[in-house]
Amino acid sequence: MAHIDHPGAIEADLIYLAPMADRPRTYTFQPPAGAPQTNIVPEPHRVRIHDARRDRDRFGLDTHGFVLLRKPTSVRDFDDELAVRTTYYAEADQLLKDATGADRVFIFDHTIRRHVPGARDYEDSPRQPATRVHVDHTTRSAPQRVRDLLPDEAEQLLRRRVQVINLWRPLRHPVYDAPLAVCDATTVKPDELVPSDLVYPHRVGETYNVRFGESHRWYYAPEMQPDEVLLLKCTDSRTDVPARFTPHTAFLDETAPANAPRRESIEIRALVFHSA
């Protein structure tokens, strides 16, 4: 497919959290009898989303909450689970260390998403793009993940700086129809981040849903390529950096060609540890 000449920004609908009295909650499985899959009420807002490539060099994980990098991978078949967990994890480990100066990286999961219009995430296969503005971890859930995954070392590790960073990459072809948008974390007010329960069969995670703010400034990479990666910081235990929590979401790009291939992507989630 021919390259599209993109403007410096586009407009799109992003799905925020509507005001609600109850604590937001979503089940990742069939909920108990009488309970809804989620009690979240979506609130779409039309926002302007800027081309991140035009200011690529000025973005930083600590200054904005994300960076866009050109980093090819040697993995050719992402359906090969062994190749993902060995070769790709090793590449991601080194990439995250290089980008952050961290001493240790612990990759705790990955998700491959393939967009099927009309399919519902957690109910249909494959996993679908996440189309609600959110942050994957909170000030409470990030330390708990360290305790859950590295129980023997957790208290020592938590005395130092700990981050949760996602690494996102397109697969096989550029992303046209459902790209990932990231918000400049410094444009989000603390009270716009709403702790929410994500209920799994054997544990309850906590994420942030996000209320709309007029100051939010959004970015994406038009036709993001398989040799590009987006790093976004979900949480940071360090409190003296400008960017600690980075909202993000997939969105439907109304400018995408009707015959464009559907989005395929992989995201890695990692605990990133610093000795100082």
CA distance 182 to 197: 22
The DSSP element (H or E) to which 93 belongs, if any, is helix 89-100
pLDDT at 138: 96
DSSP state of 212: -
Average pLDDT over residues 151-176: 97
Q: Give mean pLDDT, residues 57-84.
A: 96
Q: What is the mean pLDDT of residues 91-114?
A: 97
Over 80: is that where the pLDDT of 4 sits? no
Report the pLDDT value the prediction gives residue 108, as an integer from 0 to 100. Answer: 96
Q: Tell me: the pLDDT tens digits for 49-60?
A: 999 998 888 999
User: Which pLDDT value is given to residue 258?
Assistant: 87
> Which tens digit of pLDDT belongs to each residue from 103-115?
999 999 999 999 9
Structure tokens at 155: 């208290």
pLDDT higher than threshold 80 for residue 276: no
Token pair for residue 197? 């329960």
Backbone angles phi, psi at 53, to 5 degrees: -65, -25
Contact in structure between 231 and 65 (CB atoms under 8 Å): no
Q: Is the pLDDT of residue 91 over 90?
A: yes
Q: Which residues pair with residue 110 across a beta bridge? A: 268
User: Percentage of the chain surpassing pLDDT 90?
Assistant: 86
At residue 58, φ and ψ (nearest 5 deg) are: -95, -10
CB neighbour burial string for 243-258, b if at least 16 within 10 angstroms, e if fewer:
bbbbbbbbbebeebee
Query: Confidence class of residue 125 from pLDDT cuts 50, 70 and 90?
Result: confident
What is the DSSP code (8-state) at residue 38? Answer: B
pLDDT above 60 (res 2): no
Alpha-carbon torsion, ordered 198, 199, 200, 201, to 10 deg: 180
Considering the chain, what percentage of its residues have pLDDT values greater than 70?
Answer: 97
Global pTM?
A: 0.93
Quote the pLDDT of residue 1.
54
Supply the CATH classification number for the domain 9-273: 2.60.120
- In angstroms, rounded to a whole number, what is the distance separating the alpha carbons of residues 130 and 104? 28
**How do residues 192-247 score in pLDDT, each as one tens digit?**
999 999 999 998 999 999 999 999 999 999 999 999 999 999 999 999 999 999 99
Could you state, in order of their start, the residue ranges of all structural domains in the chain?
Answer: 9-273
